[in-house]
Amino acid sequence: MPLLVVGSIGIDTIEAPTGIATDVLGGAATYFSYAASFFTSVRLVAVVGGDFPAEHRRLMESRKIDTSGLEVRPGGKTFRWRGRYSQDMNERETMEVHLNVLADFNPRLPDEHRNCPFLFLANGAPSTQLAVLEQMRSPRLAVADTMDLWIKTQHDELSRLLRRIDGLVINDQEAKMLAGTDNLVRAGRTIQAMGPRFVVLKKGEHGAMFFSRDETYVMPAYPTPDVIDPTGAGDSFGGGYMGFIASNGDSSPTSLKRAMAYGTVTASFTVEDFSLNRLARIGRDDIDRRFAEYRRMTAF
């Protein structure tokens, strides 16, 4: 079944111990949609400037991602981000950020996108995410991502969003901030009580945790020895997660657990090169083989 994602597309410059990648394709919606496209049909809504390279759009469309909802502003400049990773790659410093056309992005969904049964609201202002929800026609499953900036600056809007979505994907530090506790288990349960049916806490190299009214569980990260660039790993996790759910049209507890594993495995490919370079060299069969290996690792 089709999956709609609304979020950011950007141009990144990344400094890591493994090297420097200049002016490469990035953005939350970019990683999410490319990862999800291994599992289901994806419709992308985002905004770019006239400086957005044509080859980047062709790369997305090569995965049959529907870019009819991509707004191009000829006189504008695409969102840009520059970041630097620590030696162990566990910390990231933002060196520069230029919102450009993203600063006043007001998504307008094409009519055919409003009927998508599965919706992912990639990291963005909760006010914008709420505006997208208002345009949807009763999605079967609506999931969102968020970050510390919005927790600090749009807490009320985020609270309203949490009461309207089915699931929230958030990293561990931001979950602690939102819940007001240093205990991850308490944070997950506190956020779940704020409205969403389930909460997924991303813990980077330590995997992910899941919380719902019915169950709580933890999945480890796939042991990847060659980490080149962690950028986009969380968004790729979300893409694999939601892509698998949409491919089956099933959001049962069993499907959500299997989706966690597929999200974990998909993200493990992303970190093995800069930008989408590694994902562009694999197919669904590669993901399935690594999934089978991951399943054997975690069985006991």
How many other CB atoms are there within 10 angstroms of residue 93's CB atom? 10
Enter the pTM of the model. 0.96
Domain that holds residue 219: 3-298
Query: What CATH number is attached to the domain comprising 96?
Result: 3.40.1190.20
Which alpha helices (DSSP H) does the chain contain, by range? 28-36, 54-62, 126-135, 148-153, 155-162, 172-179, 184-193, 233-248, 253-270, 284-298
Residue 12 neighbours by CB under 8 Å, 6+ apart:
21, 23, 24, 25, 26, 27, 80, 81, 82, 83, 231, 275
Domain tally, the chain = 1
CA 166, CA 168: separation in Å to the nearest integer? Answer: 7
CA 242, CA 244: separation in Å to the nearest integer? Answer: 5
Going residue by residue through the chain (300 aa), what tens digit of pLDDT does each one get? 999 999 999 999 999 999 999 999 999 999 999 999 999 999 999 999 999 999 999 999 999 999 999 999 999 999 999 999 999 888 899 999 999 999 999 999 999 999 999 999 999 899 999 999 999 999 999 999 999 989 999 999 999 999 999 999 999 999 999 999 999 999 999 999 999 999 999 998 889 999 998 899 999 999 998 899 999 999 999 999 999 999 999 999 999 999 999 999 999 999 999 999 999 999 999 999 999 999 999 987
CA 109, CA 112: separation in Å to the nearest integer? Answer: 8
Which H or E run contains 48? strand 42-49
